[in-house]
Amino acid sequence: MLYSMTGFGHAEAAVNGRQVTVEVKALNGKQFDMNTKLPPILRSYELDIRNLLNGMLLRGTIDLAINVRQEGASKPMVINTDLALFYYQGMKQIAERTGLPEENVIATLMRMPEVVAPDQDGMPEEDWPGVKAVIIAAATDLIEHRRQEGVALLKDIRERINNIDQLHDRIQPLEPERATRVRARLTQWLEDMVGKEKIDPNRFEQEMIYYLERMDFSEEKIRLKQHCEYFNDTVNENDAAIGRKLNFILQEIGREINTLGSKANHAEIQQIVINMKDELEKAKEQILNIL
């Protein structure tokens, strides 16, 4: 089963009088890279959160936002005195320059950002398992989104590989004509260059066999067929992160297609190879979205 690298997860729950909301978003990325937006109460648990999500989400650029809000009417509050004094000095300077009265300065200070805030110096250790469960729920929700997107990606990628396989089968009927055309073209070229009467038939036949052997792409066709089969087998593996492996297989498919094109010497086969390359590029674009 394939999983997309992108997705979104959300979860929220009450944990010992606090409402915890977790949102996690995943985008494409070669490695695991996480950006966090945590409230001060959870700063000491940042490494635990990072390790937790690394183990669950494996790869991608992860954006995590956690909001912790105190519930109920009674909330322990603290006043940030240093910040209040900083605001006061600024207000005092403005009042002196403008001649405005310094009335109600306390009321104004109390409304300034972060001057009065809930007492959240740290999350009590006994509350951490509850918060962790909310984070796991959000990550699980994201994984489900990844799975759903992976179903659509799998359908498209399978179609691309099957198209390459079908194009491969169209080459076989053209091979006898290909050899005939090459023989006729070389014969005509020699006759034009040296004259028909000067051509040694035995030597010409030996050279023709050598030339056709160099043009033979039977091995490339066999390997291409095998790579396509291996790709279809691999996408059925029970592995949550096989994007890199599938990308390597596509590289091998590309090598065989390129060799077919370089040896083709046939207009219709060249067109088939171009269509193969088009399907391969579309598959590569989709693989970039696979976990």
Give pLDDT, residue 128. 92
State residue 190's pLDDT score: 67
Assess whether pLDDT exceeds 60 at residue 262: yes
Among candidate residues 130, 104, 116, the one with its CA nearest the CA of residue 18: 130
Q: How confident is the model at residue 224 (pLDDT cuts 50, 70, 90)?
A: very high
Threshold 0.85, pTM exceeds: no
Averaged pLDDT, 278-291: 92
Query: What are 98's two structure tokens?
Result: 């403008």
Please state, rounded to an integer, the average pLDDT across all residues of the chain.
Answer: 85
Domain with CATH 3.30.230 in the chain: 7-74+125-145
Q: Taking the CA atoms of the chain, what radius of gyration do you get in angstroms?
A: 34
Identify the pLDDT of residue 122: 67
Angle at 157 between CA 54 and CA 57, to 5 degrees: 5
Q: Which residue has the higher pLDDT, 226 or 106?
A: 226
In the chain, beta strands by DSSP E: 7-15, 18-27, 32-37, 60-70, 77-79, 116-118
Interval 123-131 mean pLDDT:
88
- Share of residues in the chain with pLDDT > 70 (%): 87
The reported pLDDT for the residue numbered 177 is: 81
Structure token digits, residue 193: 């260059």
Top mean-pLDDT range of 79-83, 115-119, 228-232: 228-232
- CATH architecture of the domain 7-74+125-145 equals 2-Layer Sandwich (3.30)
- 43 vs 63, higher pLDDT: 63
Model confidence pLDDT, tens digit, residues 46-83: 999 999 999 999 999 999 999 988 775 445 567 778 87
For 262-279, what is the mean pLDDT?
Answer: 91
Q: Taking residues 139-161, what's their average pLDDT?
A: 93
For the cut 80, the answer to whether the pLDDT of residue 213 exceeds it is no
pLDDT tens per residue across span 23-36: 999 999 888 999 99
Q: Is the pLDDT of residue 208 over 80?
A: no
